[in-house]
Amino acid sequence: MDMRRSEVSPEDQARYLRRGDYARVTAADRPGVAQPVPLREVPAQPWGRILLGAFVLFAVLIGVWEWYWRAWGAVPDYYNSNAEWAQQRRRIDNGEGNKTVLIGSSRVLFDVQLPVWEKLTGERPIQLALEGTTSLVTMENLAADPNFTGHLLVGVAPDLFFSGFAYRGDALKYYQKETPSQRIGNWLSRKLIEPYFAFFDEDFALPKVAKRQDWPARPGVPNRLDVRKLSVSEADRNTHMWDKVYTDVAYRDLARSIWAQHLNGPPPPDMDTPEKVAKAIETQIQRAVDATAKLRARGVEVVFVRPPDAGPYHEFDEHVFPRAKTWDVLLAKTGAPGIHFEDYPELRGFDPPEWSHLKPDDAVRYTTALVPLVERGFASETPASAK
């Protein structure tokens, strides 16, 4: 017999369950008796107007957020994500393995302009540089890939290259394990969001904005500033410095203060003694030697490039990673040609606004001067396969 609540008075339910007159009979109270399916009518509502109101509210909120960031100087650009990097890396897998490839950290990413390179050589390189990341991560991956047989420019930022630091090292793992759904998501983002919305940037995400507010300091918690937005990227990762960095003095000074945290802060535990620094340098140079040998054995021409920096950043690099113990040893042991900005008048005299990267006009001039030197370096290479 099916027992429904309407068939049992509250008094009887309370007597059964001893829980007061709010109690009701459940399936656990009626072993062997089927639990009835409760029916609840959905009240009539003006669903069309509700849906329209929700859409209008959503559009207004998105519009206000977009207006706020555009008023602050942001412009739509392509999100420099792991998916974007993986898309460029796959070009080598898909038949473009004989092209010129640029690897390095943010100085190669910001300072080498692909349209200028293309204008001078007729070829638009593949941009695989990763900010805050040693070029050795990508160099070793390319050395192990028989599909890559072209030319390789290897950027050397001393504090990253000779320490092995890899802030964006997970980009390689993402490329190797990217799922179909992730590819589709990136495609939709590139087609429907990135070219049109300035707010679509990691630096403008609400959690990061909230984190940057002037919260009371907490004892024992370091108050370090995250690196802020510095660049604008195009569809193929051609990248240049965001104009706010060099037109807004306060923002430029903010960027400098963030670099100063790194330059003046304590060294990491694996590099807190001269002996550990020397060991790290030796290890990274050996990685470069091994990768260069593999690449040259396959006919790949390799040129190392030391981009310009200035001010306290340059002083830091020269103090911790002096040229005689790093750059000069790197070239001697790899046997590859190298281009150090201090050795060429046409590569000197630039004034990076925040000590580390060139503003767009200077990046164009720098690339114009650099490309002939790199081409000459490629021509001087004599890979093992050509002997």
> pLDDT tens-digit profile of 175-216?
999 999 999 999 999 999 999 999 999 999 999 999 999 888
**How confident is the model at residue 286, as a pLDDT?**
98
Quick one: 272 and 336 in the same domain? yes
Quick one: 14 and 111 in the same domain? no
**How confident is the model at residue 387, as a pLDDT?**
36
Quick one: 33 and 82 in the same domain? no
Residues 70 and 201: their CA atoms lie apart, in Å, by 12
Q: Could you tell me which residue, 99 or 43, shows the higher pLDDT?
A: 99
The mean pLDDT value of the chain amounts to 91
Q: What is the mean pLDDT of residues 376-383?
A: 77
Q: In this structure, is residue 113 part of a structural domain?
A: yes
Q: In this structure, is residue 42 part of a structural domain?
A: no
Q: Give the CATH number, domain containing residue 267.
A: 3.40.50
In this model, does residue 381 exceed pLDDT 90? Answer: no
In this model, does residue 252 exceed pLDDT 50? Answer: yes
**How confident is the model at residue 385, as a pLDDT?**
38
Q: In this structure, is residue 49 part of a structural domain?
A: no
The answer to whether the CB of 313 falls within 8 A of the CB of 193 is no
Quick one: 306 and 357 in the same domain? yes
Residues 375 and 336: their CA atoms lie apart, in Å, by 13
**How confident is the model at residue 38, as a pLDDT?**
67
Question: Could you tell me which residues come within 8 angstroms of residue 77 by beta carbon, excluding any fewer than 6 positions away?
Answer: 194, 198, 201, 232, 233, 234
Q: In this structure, is residue 112 part of a structural domain?
A: yes
**How confident is the model at residue 26, as a pLDDT?**
62
Q: Could you tell me which residue, 286 or 15, shows the higher pLDDT?
A: 286
The answer to whether the CB of 142 falls within 8 A of the CB of 152 is yes
Q: What is the mean pLDDT of residues 82-110?
A: 97
**How confident is the model at residue 70, as a pLDDT?**
97
In this model, does residue 150 exceed pLDDT 50? Answer: yes
Q: Which token pair is 317?
A: 């690099």
Confidence at 217, pLDDT banded by 50, 70, 90:
confident
What are the strands of the beta sheet with 100-103, ordered from one edge? 126-127, 100-103, 151-155, 301-306, 338-340
Q: In this structure, is residue 109 part of a structural domain?
A: yes
**How confident is the model at residue 282, as a pLDDT?**
97
Run of H or E including 303: strand 301-306
**How confident is the model at residue 30, as a pLDDT?**
64
Into how many domains does the chain fold?
Answer: 2
Q: Which token pair is 103?
A: 């690897």
Question: Could you tell me which residues come within 8 angstroms of residue 381 by beta carbon, excluding any fewer than 6 positions away?
Answer: 296, 301, 302, 303, 336, 337
Q: In this structure, is residue 63 part of a structural domain?
A: no
Quick one: 268 and 360 in the same domain? yes
In this model, does residue 316 exceed pLDDT 60? Answer: yes
Q: In this structure, is residue 52 part of a structural domain?
A: no
Q: Which token pair is 50?
A: 């509700």
Question: Could you tell me which residues come within 8 angstroms of residue 283 by beta carbon, excluding any fewer than 6 positions away?
Answer: 164
Confidence at 106, pLDDT banded by 50, 70, 90:
very high
Quick one: 20 and 96 in the same domain? no
Residues 286 and 292: their CA atoms lie apart, in Å, by 10
In this model, does residue 1 exceed pLDDT 50? Answer: no
Q: Which domain, by its residues, includes 13?
A: 1-37
Quick one: 126 and 237 in the same domain? yes
The answer to whether the CB of 114 falls within 8 A of the CB of 125 is yes
Quick one: 145 and 203 in the same domain? yes
Quick one: 269 and 211 in the same domain? yes
pLDDT tens by residue, 264-285 = 988 888 899 999 999 999 999 9
Quick one: 190 and 254 in the same domain? yes
Quick one: 157 and 289 in the same domain? yes
Beta strands in 59-187 (DSSP E): 100-103, 126-127, 151-155
Q: What is the mean pLDDT of residues 69-97?
A: 96
**How confident is the model at residue 105, as a pLDDT?**
97
Residue with tokens 């420099």: 80
